[in-house]
Structure 1
Amino acid sequence: MVLKAKSCSPDIFFRSFTLFFALLLTWVWLSQAAPVRAAVPEPKETVAAAVDKIIGILTDPELATPQNREKRYRLVVATVEEFFDFAEISMRTLGPRWRELDDGERRRFIELFKQFLQKNYIDRVDSYSGEEVVVKDQEIREDRRGNRFAMVNTDFVMKSQTVPVNYRLLYRGGNWLVYDVDIEGVSLVRNFRSQFEPYSFAELIRRMEKSIATGKDLEEQ
């Protein structure tokens, strides 16, 4: 399956993780879930549907006008919130520290992490113009507890090169939801865990709040 997207910035790491948040990936918030369907789509159909929907927003000429930029941003965020299990990402990103947090601290981290990613990635949706996303094969497995997981392999095809982007999904609440992405072998979850590990939870929260307010990296706070 080949879907038309727009081109990315020159840096591959930025392109790939921005692609994750601005084109292919979708959030499902703790209290939200995608609408129940009569037939559950295959994992690769879920990824393809997210791609198709977001690309439709980014390539809509009416939404590309300066006066509609905020509307386009809100539509992208709403779509992102439809398909992705962000609570699962947050738990995996914090690793063992997640078990030490109470419910209020977990909710606080999830909300801040969402804002942090929006500020650093989704805010840059205007940088896209003319590439291809190729949704390829999928692999589904089940663990001993009966939990179902999937990997969907895709290629982000640019004029000069092709970047492999592999999505990890879990089956929850009648839907396939993305919980991690590997871009050229780099896991989103592992990448952020390595960024967050040097800080205590209180310091991490402080730095995330400052980063959201200033747009600067965590280490600059």
Structure 2
Amino acid sequence: MTIKINSVLSVLKDSNLTKEAKKNKIIPIIDPLFDFTLMSRLSLGAKWKELDKGQKDRFTELFTKKLKESYTDKLYLYTDQKVDILGVDQPKNNRIVLKTQLIGKDDKYDIGYKFYETKDSSWLIYDVDLLGVSIIQTYRQQFAGFLKDKSFDDLLTNLSTTK
């Protein structure tokens, strides 16, 4: 993981690259670490079971795009901070939380990457805690609130038209 973090930081520090070029270099580095399908399912909660395969696939596509854009947008705020790996917690046998800290000039931000062990014994991220707040829980609450008044198709439209 340290190698991946350092690779991303190296791209971010490269002042010769445009934002788009940085994004195009960073996404392939981080993509294999995330289980976007599981993140999509968790963000919808019980609603996921009501969807057909086409709806699940479309939602996963749009939600993955949103997550990647959100993540890379946050990376652009990087201004020579340092990332420290603080350690690993193992709440369950097949779950770990990689605890990191982004250290800036004036502030420190705790970031926890939640991993699960796949059937082939690799580890994938299924959630990220920023300052103690789960991004998946945050999206789940937003989507549940949205779906109280609107349809799932409205949610897909909203995801496809908002950044």
- When normalised by structure 2's length, the TM-score is 0.86
Distance 2:71 2:128 in 1: 15
- Residue matched to 1:195: 142
Identity of aligned residues (%): 27
Q: Say yes or no: does 1:165 pair with 2:115.
A: no
Aligned pairs, number: 158
2:45 to 76, 95, 104: 95
> Shift of the alpha carbon at 1:126?
3.6
> Shift of the alpha carbon at 1:188?
0.6
Q: Which amino acid aligns with 1:100?
A: E
RMSD: 1.9
Q: Say yes or no: does 1:57 pair with 2:11.
A: yes
- RCO higher in structure (CA 8 A, sep ≥6): 1
Contact map agreement 1:50 1:83 (CA 8 A) in 2: no
> Shift of the alpha carbon at 1:169?
0.3
The runs of 4+ residues in structure 1 deviating greater than 6 Å are none
Q: Which runs of structure 2 are paired with 1:125-140 in the superposition (5 Å)?
A: 125-140=75-90
Q: Which runs of structure 2 are paired with 1:54-133 in the superposition (5 Å)?
A: 54-62=8-16, 64=17, 66=18, 69-123=19-73, 125-133=75-83
> Shift of the alpha carbon at 1:55?
0.9
Normalized per residue, the structure richer in helix is: 2
Q: Which runs of structure 2 are paired with 1:17-56 in the superposition (5 Å)?
A: 46=1, 48-56=2-10
Structure 1 segments unaligned to the other structure (5+ residues): 1-45, 216-221
1:149 to 92, 95, 104: 95
Q: Deviations over 1:70-125 (max 9, x none)?
A: 33221111112121111111111011111111221111111101222334442464
- When normalised by structure 1's length, the TM-score is 0.65
Structure 2 segments unaligned to the other structure (5+ residues): none
User: What SS does the corresponding residue of 2:115 show, helix, strand or coil?
Assistant: strand
User: What SS does the corresponding residue of 1:127 show, helix, strand or coil?
Assistant: coil
In structure 2, relative to structure 1, the CA distance for the partners of 1:123 and 1:163 (3 Å cut) is closer
Q: Which amino acid aligns with 1:92?
A: L
